[in-house]
Amino acid sequence: MNPSYRRPEPSSIPDLLSPTNLVPQSMIMTKTTHSTLLNSGLTLVVGLVLAACFFAACSNGEKALAPAVNDSIVRPMMTSTGVSTLISDSGVIRYKIIAEQWDVYDRLDTSKWAFEKGVYLEKYDNLMRIDAKVKADTAYYYDKLKLWDLRGHVDIMNIKGEKFNTEQLFWDQAKEQVYSDRFIRIQQIDKILTGYGFTSNQQFTDYIIHNTAGIFPVEDAPQDSVRTDSIHS
């Protein structure tokens, strides 16, 4: 079952880490036939005009191209601003969304929600307790796939107070897994872990860095990091 949402309420994104002209309407030519000669003459004139345009384009060294299809011209089915809403799945509230703007697209090959002005998420456990907070510059949610694509400055904080920073993060709700192939920085209570490639459960409490760059105390700079193969929480 796809997530459902409640009516948006005005809000603002909190700081996570501080708690036709249709091609000129085609010249519609009404068909007023007087004689075969008139039709032939009209055809000749049109043909000459088209030929002139063609040769003019060629003389300028330009190719006649149709307008490119661009996603930017696709308009959202619905746009909400000042959003603060709870999202449920199978009758259970799963998380809260706070965003400046929420666009819903349903005319694309893969329907999606777009949060291109930033988003803040609070993930809840079955007892409605917050077990993770997520903030991103940009986010897309592919509702049929139950997949989040978080981009930009992606900041996460789990229930233990550990902080995660990366440039892109995927949250696959169907597989109950979070992952990234980008650089990841994890700040634990007493040390900082860095590396490339990251996989975690949805609560960000059981995770692994696939290619570790370093481990160092919180107060130290990451210049003398220790190399290891992988790190589990």
**Residue 125 covered by a domain:** yes
Q: Which residue has the tokens 């990451």?
A: 222
**Residue 151 covered by a domain:** yes
**Residue 10 pLDDT greater than 50, yes or no:** no
Query: pTM of this prediction?
Result: 0.65
Q: How high does pLDDT run on average in the chain?
A: 75
**Residue 34 covered by a domain:** no
**Residue 41 covered by a domain:** no
Going by C-beta distance under 8 Å and a sequence separation of 6 or more, which residues neighbour residue 129? none
Q: Compare 58 and 161 and report the one with higher pLDDT.
A: 161
Going by C-beta distance under 8 Å and a sequence separation of 6 or more, which residues neighbour residue 164? 154, 155, 156, 157, 158, 184, 185, 186, 187, 198, 204
**Residue 68 covered by a domain:** no
Question: How many folded domains does the chain comprise?
Answer: 1
- Write out pLDDT tens, residues 107-132: 777 899 999 999 999 999 988 999 99
**Residue 33 pLDDT greater than 80, yes or no:** no
**Residue 94 pLDDT greater than 50, yes or no:** yes
| pLDDT at residue 220, rounded to an integer | 66
**pLDDT class of 102 with cuts at 50, 70, 90:** very high
- CA geometry: angle at 151 spanning 149 and 157, to 5°? 90
Q: Compare 26 and 16 and report the one with higher pLDDT.
A: 16
**pLDDT class of 75 with cuts at 50, 70, 90:** confident
What dihedral angle (degrees, nearest 10) is formed by the CA atoms of 205, 18, 127, 185? Answer: -10
**Residue 30 pLDDT greater than 70, yes or no:** no
**pLDDT class of 11 with cuts at 50, 70, 90:** very low
**Residue 38 covered by a domain:** no
| pLDDT at residue 233, rounded to an integer | 44
| pLDDT at residue 211, rounded to an integer | 96
| pLDDT at residue 58, rounded to an integer | 44
CATH of residue 201's domain is: 2.60.450.10
**pLDDT class of 3 with cuts at 50, 70, 90:** low
Amino acid occupying residue 178? V
**Residue 76 pLDDT greater than 80, yes or no:** yes
Q: Which domain holds residue 167?
A: 4-14+76-232
